[in-house]
Amino acid sequence: MRSVLCYGDSNTYGQTTANKPDDRYPHDTRWPGVLRELIGRDWLVIEEGLSGRTTVSDDPIEGAEKNGRTYLRPCIMSHKPLDLIIIMLGTNDLKIRFNKTPGEIAMGVGALVSDIKCMPAGIEGKIPEIMIVAPPPTALDLKEWSGVFQGAQEKSRALAQEYERMAEAQEVHFFDAGLVVTSSDEDGFHLDAKAHRELGHAIAEEIAAIGWSPLPD
Amino acid sequence: MPDMRFAPPPSVRVAEHPSGMNQVLARSFNERLIMSLLLQHGGMTRLQLGQESGLSAQTISVIVRALERDSLISKGEAVRGRIGPPTTPISLNPEGVFSIGLHVDQTYVEAVLVNFTGEPVDRRTGPLQSLEVDEVESALLVVLDGLLAGMSAEVRNLLTGAGLTLPRQFGGNEHEGSAVLNHDFEAALGARSGLEIFIQNDITAAASAEILFGQAKLINDHLFCYVSRDIQPRLILGGRIYSGSAPCPPVCSDAAWAALEAAIAKSAPLENPAVMDWVEEASRKMAALVEELARLVSVPTMILAAPVPVEIMKALVSATRERVPSGLSVEASALGPNALALGAATLPIHSRFTTEAG
C-alpha cells in the first residue's frame, strides 16, 4: 500500500461555498475522498486540510496555527513513511494582510518543498515525491471577502505560472488545478462539490501519470 | 545580502515558435536523452522513461512539461490532466520539428523535407548538367527554394536546420568532382535559407538515419550496405558507425547502371537483364564482403539500401539472403530509395535533439 498526504487549506478540508463556519462537505465529496474512491485500493489517502492555512505565515488574526510551515514537519512525521506529498496552498496568502506578490507566495510553497527535502520521510529513508498544485484563480466577485482579499483576483491569476517556475527550479511534479476547476461564484474562492469531484479525478490521473513501479507482494 | 537559498527561481524557459526560437534553443542533455528514447521506442509512459533513462520521476515530470510547452511531444487524449492519462504513452509530436535534407548525386540533386519522426513530407529533385561547382550550387539552391516555397510559414518556423550530404567521391571527371567536394556550400545554403547547415558523407548519414528512424532503431550491431554502382558498407557497433578506407570493387559499370535506371522506368523491370545482372552481382559481392568481415567481427543483421523500387529491393534482399550464412538476417532499409536525402535531413535532428553525436 502506498500513501499520499494531501496538504492543503479549506479547499482540501472541504469547506463548503455556503459562507458558514465549519460547514464541511461529507468525506466522499471532498477531493481527497474522491481520490480515495479512485485509487484507494492501492493508496492510503491522508487528508490534511485546514481552513485558513497559509504557506509559511502565522496569521495575525486567525492564529499562528494557520502557518503551513510550522505544522508541516510534525504532520509529515505523524504520517511517514510517505510516497507522495501533494501541496495545494496559496489562496490564503492572497489576503491583503500578508501583502505578498504571486512570486513570493510561490516562494512560500518552495520553502515547504525545501523543508520536505530535508526530511527523510519517504520509503526507506528517501525523500517522498512532491507535487505542487496551483490553486484555481479566485472569482472576480469576492463578495463579503472583497476587503480581505483585496487585489487577489489579479494576483491569483499569476499563481500558476509562478508555481510552475518553482516546480521547475525544485524539480518536483506540478499541476495547475485551474485547468480543470474554477472557484465557485457562490463565495468567490471555495470549490463546490462538482469542482471537488473534477479535481479528485484530475489528481488521480496526475498521480498515475507519475509512473509507479508495481509494489512487491 | 539576502539568503540566496531563497532567491527567486529562474523564469520558465519557453520557446517562442513565431520568432524561430526553437532553432537556437539548446536542449539539455536529459531532454535529449528523453527525446532519443522516444525516437527509438515510439510511445512510452513516464514510468518507462524513468526506467530507461535512470532519471527520477520528478525530473521526468519537469522535462515532459518543458518538451510539452515547446510542442515537441504530443499531448495525451485526456482533457483533464496536463500530461495525459497514464495509459496514454508520451510520444514525439511529428509536427513539432521539421528538417531539410539536401543530397548531391552524380547526375542530380535532391531536397527533402522531413518531420520530427523522419517521415518525408515534401521532395524536390533537379538535374545536374555537369559537376561544375557553380552548376551544383545553383541546382541545390533551386531545389532548396522549391522546398521552402512549398511550405507554410508555420513549418518554416519549425525548421531546425538543413543537412547536406555528398558522396566520398564522384565518378567521371576527377578534377571537377574533387572541386565539388572541397567547395564550401554552407555559406550559400545558409544565407539562402537562414538555417544552420550540417554536412556529412552521404552513406554515413543514411546509416545514421537508419539508426534514428529506420530498421536499426532497436538493433545495436549491424552491417549497413548502400548498393548502386558499387557497394558502400558501414559497420555499426554499439551505435557507432565505422567506415573503411579501401573502396569495395564496383558492382557494375556506369553504362550498366544507366541501363538499369532505364529499365526501372519501364514496366516489369525484374525481367530486364540489366536488373537481373545487377541483383546477381550485388548479392554475390555482398556475400563476399560478409565473408571477409566474419574473420574480424560477426553481426546478427545486415540492412540494405539502394536507389531502386521496392520490388527490385525485395529481389536483392532475397538473393543476398541465399548467399550469406543463415544466421545473418538480411533486411531492406526502411528509408526506401531516397535514403541518402533522408540521411541528410536527419543530420540536424541528430545534432540538436538526440544524445548521440551526429
A110 domain-assigned? yes
Whether B148 contacts B167, CB under 8 Å: no
A157 inside 8 A of chain B by CB:
no
B7, pLDDT greater than 90: no
| Residue A206 to residue B83, Cβ atoms within 8 A | yes
- Please state the rounded mean pLDDT for residues A3-30: 95
Dihedral, A68, A69, A71, A73 alpha carbons, nearest 10: 140
Of the pLDDT bands very low, low, confident and very high (cuts 50, 70, 90), residue B163 is very high
B78 inside 8 A of chain A by CB:
yes
**From A176, which residue of chain B is nearest by alpha-carbon distance?**
B82
B46 inside 8 A of chain A by CB:
yes
B26, pLDDT greater than 70: no
Within 8 A of B84 by CB-CB distance, chain A residues are 205, 209
Together in a domain, B9 and B86: yes
Residues of chain B above pLDDT 90, percent: 65
Of the pLDDT bands very low, low, confident and very high (cuts 50, 70, 90), residue B143 is very high
B132 domain-assigned? yes
The pLDDT of residue B200 is 93
Together in a domain, B151 and B55: no
Where does a domain end: B69, B92, B115? B92
Residue bearing the bigger pLDDT, B262 or B87: B262
| Residue A168 to residue B9, Cβ atoms within 8 A | yes
Together in a domain, B143 and B239: no
Complex ipTM over 0.85 = no
Within 8 A of A114 by CB-CB distance, chain B residues are 5
Q: What is the CATH number of the domain that holds A79?
A: 3.40.50.1110
A118 inside 8 A of chain B by CB:
no
Pull the grid cell for residue B202: 552521404
B243 domain-assigned? yes
b/e burial code for range B274-284 (CB count within 10 A of at least 16 → b): bbbebbebbbe
| Residue A205 to residue B46, Cβ atoms within 8 A | no
**From A164, which residue of chain B is nearest by alpha-carbon distance?**
B12
B279, pLDDT greater than 80: yes
Residue bearing the bigger pLDDT, A22 or B99: B99
Together in a domain, B103 and B88: no
Helix, strand or coil, per DSSP, at residue B241: strand
Terminal alpha carbon distance of chain B: 46
A42 inside 8 A of chain B by CB:
no
**Total domains, chain B:** 3
Describe the crossing of helices B57-69 and B46-53 by its angle, rounded to 10 degrees. Answer: 120
Together in a domain, B48 and B25: yes
CA distance A200 to A177: 10
B358 domain-assigned? no
| Closest to B143 measured CA to CA, from B358, B338, B350 | B338
Residue B167: what are its φ and ψ, rounded to 5°? -70, 165
Pull the grid cell for residue B179: 572541386
A127 inside 8 A of chain B by CB:
no
- Please state the rounded mean pLDDT for residues B170-183: 86
| Residue A165 to residue B85, Cβ atoms within 8 A | no
Whole domain around residue B229: which residue ranges?
215-333
Interface A-B, measured as beta-carbon pairs within 8 A, has a size of: 86
Whole domain around residue A179: which residue ranges?
2-210
Of the pLDDT bands very low, low, confident and very high (cuts 50, 70, 90), residue B12 is low
Together in a domain, B189 and B119: yes
The pLDDT of residue B356 is 67
The pLDDT of residue B23 is 39
Of the pLDDT bands very low, low, confident and very high (cuts 50, 70, 90), residue B176 is confident
Residue bearing the bigger pLDDT, B266 or B125: B125
Helix, strand or coil, per DSSP, at residue B339: helix
The pLDDT of residue B78 is 44
Whether B162 contacts B198, CB under 8 Å: yes
The pLDDT of residue A11 is 98
Whether B168 contacts B248, CB under 8 Å: no
B54, pLDDT greater than 50: yes
B208 domain-assigned? no
A36 domain-assigned? yes
Together in a domain, B298 and B348: no
Q: What is the CATH number of the domain that holds B292?
A: 3.30.420.40
CA distance B170 to A61: 85
CA distance B240 to A174: 38
B110: which strand partners? B103, B125
Within 8 A of A206 by CB-CB distance, chain B residues are 81-83
The pLDDT of residue B18 is 36
Together in a domain, B57 and B144: no
Tell me how crowded residue B18 is: count the other CB atoms within 10 A of its CB. Answer: 9
| Residue B62 to residue A167, Cβ atoms within 8 A | yes
**Total domains, chain A:** 1
Pick from A92-96, B20-24, B45-49: least confident: B20-24
A215 domain-assigned? no
| Residue A210 to residue B57, Cβ atoms within 8 A | yes
A168: which strand partners? none
Give tens-digit pLDDT for B58-91. 999 999 998 988 899 986 554 334 443 445 689 9
Give tens-digit pLDDT for A116-133. 999 999 999 999 999 999
The pLDDT of residue B49 is 92
The pLDDT of residue B88 is 67
Give tens-digit pLDDT for A74-103. 999 999 999 999 999 999 999 999 999 999
CA distance B23 to B158: 7
B210 domain-assigned? no
Nearest CB neighbour to A202, from listed B10, B56, B80: B80
B30 inside 8 A of chain A by CB:
no
The CA–CA distances, whole Å, from B267 to B37, B264, B311, B317, B337 equal 42, 7, 12, 20, 18
The pLDDT of residue B134 is 94
Give tens-digit pLDDT for B117-133. 999 999 999 999 999 99
CA atoms within 13 A on the CB side of B103: 32
Together in a domain, B145 and B246: no
The pLDDT of residue B25 is 53
A158, pLDDT greater than 60: yes
